[in-house]
């Protein structure tokens, strides 16, 4: 049994930089036709010059792979229209992080208020530049995304022509917001479709499943599954694949992030097959994203076969999700 995917896309990807970039970027570029690259480096990407330099390093690291790295800027409230007009041809979106809420987000926004952000958001709306948001408050960790729903509502109402992508949603409340506001969209990760908090901390702590936003309850996972398996037109796959060295994951200060890039398509295919939804996987991993972003990725056909795939223990110094496990689907060919 085989299935072919046309130009699969990852609409939320962390490639890091330097030696880590050289390890992980080729893994995504081999399998995916394109990805939206996150800007939370140290320091974050806030200028066109820095962005283009980073893009050059990505392109160099992936060699001849047919892969489009779609770049983003780190949100700042004082970007003016002139800067954004010049930046538009270099970027696909701008990513907003609440200050200190996740990896390398210390320079993010404190107290997200539509009025105080109007200069940048108004110009983005006029210029058709999407806003990507890591949507969490500073409240109790299990409630952070739910609490942030009020902010999404404020942003959607204040800027109705601004395309807003709720990144890596994890709750049933976020799923409902898609129906309330025409300009809200969402990415969903592989790991949030598969795990709950019980998988992370219900028994022995599983550091390689620890991420932010943290995995939630079974009913939240079910809400995400419904959206993904029916390939709801306002959702798309975004891995939020976030590599950290094994030493940073298996430590007293465990870094947040699940590394899924090289096993995502195999695991997603198994998930969709188990739910008799293989006819919807193409839309979830590519077609919806092309429509939402208006992008045309490089042509790439990835054919998967129902053949056991033993996940490596590690890729360089990074441990993947399902390390040393056997998945039911493997990649047969890439054309």
The torsion defined by the Cα of 208, 209, 210 and 215, in degrees rounded to 10, comes to: 170
User: Order of strands, edge to edge, in the sheet holding 131-133?
Assistant: 72-74, 93-96, 131-133, 164-166, 184-188, 235-237
Cβ contacts of 274 within 8 Å, gap of 6 or more: none
Cβ contacts of 201 within 8 Å, gap of 6 or more: none
Task: Please work out, in degrees rounded to the nearest 5, the angle formed at the alpha carbon of residue 294 by the alpha carbons of 5 and 273.
Answer: 25
At 144 the three-state DSSP class reads: helix
Q: How many residues does the chain have?
A: 335
Catalytic residue among 10, 220, 240, 287: 240
Spell out the alpha helix ranges (H) of the chain: 18-31, 48-62, 81-87, 118-127, 144-158, 172-180, 190-194, 197-201, 218-229, 246-249, 264-274, 281-282, 288-293
Residue 254's CB is within 10 A of a number of other CB atoms, namely 15
Cβ contacts of 138 within 8 Å, gap of 6 or more: 98, 100, 101, 144
Catalytic site includes residue 279: no
CA distances from 20 to 27, 40, 249 (A): 11, 14, 15
- What are 333's strand-pairing partners? 303
At 264 the three-state DSSP class reads: helix
Angle between helices 218-229 and 172-180 (to 10 degrees): 40
- What are 301's strand-pairing partners? 6
Provide the annotated active-site residues: 240
């Amino acid at each position: 049994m085989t299935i072919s995917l046309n130009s699969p896309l990852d609409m939320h990807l962390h490639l890091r930089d330097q030696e880590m970039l050289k390890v992980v970027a080729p893994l995504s570029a081999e399998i995916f036709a394109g990805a939206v690259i996150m800007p939370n480096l140290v320091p974050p990407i806030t200028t066109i010059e820095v962005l283009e330099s980073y893009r050059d390093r990505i392109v160099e690291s992936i060699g001849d792979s047919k892969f489009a790295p779609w770049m983003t800027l780190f949100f700042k409230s004082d970007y003016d229209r002139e800067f954004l007009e010049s930046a538009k041809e270099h970027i696909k979106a701008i990513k907003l992080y609440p200050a200190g809420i996740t990896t390398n987000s210390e320079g993010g926004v404190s107290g997200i208020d539509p009025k105080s952000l109007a200069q940048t958001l108004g110009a983005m709306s006029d210029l058709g530049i999407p806003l990507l948001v890591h949507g969490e408050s500073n409240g109790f960790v299990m409630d952070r995304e739910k609490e942030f729903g009020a902010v999404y509502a404020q942003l959607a109402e204040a800027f109705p022509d601004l395309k807003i992508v709720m990144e890596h949603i994890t709750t049933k409340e976020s799923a409902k917001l898609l129906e309330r506001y025409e300009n809200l969209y969402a990415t969903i990760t592989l790991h949030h479709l598969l795990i709950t908090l019980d998988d992370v901390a219900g028994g022995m702590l599983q550091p390689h499943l620890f991420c932010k936003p943290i995995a939630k309850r079974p009913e939240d996972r079910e809400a995400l599954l419904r959206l993904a398996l029916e390939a709801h037109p306002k959702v798309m796959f975004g891995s939020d694949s976030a590599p950290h060295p094994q030493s940073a994951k298996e430590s007293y200060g465990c870094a947040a992030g699940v590394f899924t890039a090289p096993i995502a398509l195999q695991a997603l295919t198994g998930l969709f097959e188990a739910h008799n939804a293989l006819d919807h996987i193409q839309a979830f991993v590519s077609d919806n994203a092309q429509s939402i972003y208006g992008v045309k990725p490089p042509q790439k056909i990835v054919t998967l076969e129902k053949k056991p795939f033993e996940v490596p223990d590690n890729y360089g110094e990074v441990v993947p999700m399902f390390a040393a496990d056997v998945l039911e689907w493997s990649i047969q060919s890439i054309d």
